[in-house]
Amino acid sequence: MQVYIPSFKCPHCNTMCSFSGKGIGDCVTLYCRGCHKGVFFKFSGWDFQDTDSTARVDAKTVVDYYPRSVFTADAAIPEDIADDFNEANRCFAVEAKKATVTMCRRVLQNTCISKGADPRKDLFNQIDELESKRIINPSMKDVAHAIRVIGNWGAHPQNDPLKDVTIEDALEIVNFTSEFLDEAFVRPARLLALKAKKKIK
């Protein structure tokens, strides 16, 4: 059976594309229409038959896929912080979810220090300091505290809720960390580049 997904974020080229391919059962390999690379999908509620018909499949029925999406640190992010973020993504790609969220916490703290937060303070106060200096906005402060709390579970295993962190949770933390880095480094760098290009003081 031909299987078609109209829109899914490709883990290879990191763009929203359609996917198509041929398969039987609930697990099939489909190919990105953008980069033409294959992704292995597992679906819920589908059992594709050996026919010549086409099944149009909603991405919401995807329960798992491989390879996992991997983010790449932007060039505006300092090298040491980018290295930690890329390591978090490598952890996520192999479903090492505990290591993923712990590395994201490390990214968070190193970013705070890089942006001028007092290194003698704990991470809670460093995040608040960035918000008070208007380096991050109040909603991003809440995001940062969520990363901090879940990452702390990895650093302090005595009371271990980290064992309940799912791969979906880890993906959310990676996404949130990417947004945090975007606000702290990427958007300011893009704005400076635009101002320089247009000679805006």
CATH number, domain containing residue 131: 1.20.120
Please give the pLDDT value at position 64: 86
In this structure, the answer to whether residues 89 and 133 fall within a common structural domain is yes
pLDDT digits (tens, 9 = 90+) for 84-99: 999 998 888 778 888 9
pLDDT digits (tens, 9 = 90+) for 121-147: 999 999 999 999 999 999 999 999 999
Residue 26's pLDDT band (cuts 50, 70, 90): very high
Q: Do residues 42 and 26 lie in contact, with contact meaning Cβ atoms separated by under 8 Å?
A: yes
Among the three residues 23, 42, 66, which one is the final residue of a domain in this structure? 66
Distance between terminal CA atoms of the chain?
59
Q: Has residue 158 got a pLDDT over 80? A: no
Q: Which domain holds residue 41?
A: 2-66
Average pLDDT over residues 65-77: 79
pTM: 0.69
> Mean of the per-residue pLDDT values for the chain?
90
Cis peptide bond prior to 157, omega within 30° of 0: no
What are the start-end ranges of the H helices in 56-200?
79-93, 97-114, 123-132, 138-155, 167-181, 187-198
In this structure, the answer to whether residues 49 and 129 fall within a common structural domain is no
CB-count burial class (<10 Å; 0-12, 13-18, 19+) for 167: middle
Percent of the chain past pLDDT 90, that is, above it, reads 67
Counting the structural domains of the chain, the total is: 2
* Residue 71 maps to a domain: no
Task: Please tell me what DSSP assigns to residue 68.
Answer: P
In this structure, the answer to whether residues 126 and 166 fall within a common structural domain is yes
By C-alpha distance, which of 49, 72, 45 is closest to 61? 45
In this structure, the answer to whether residues 87 and 132 fall within a common structural domain is yes
Task: Please tell me what DSSP assigns to residue 78.
Answer: -
Pairing of strands 62-66, 2-9: unpaired
In this structure, the answer to whether residues 29 and 91 fall within a common structural domain is no
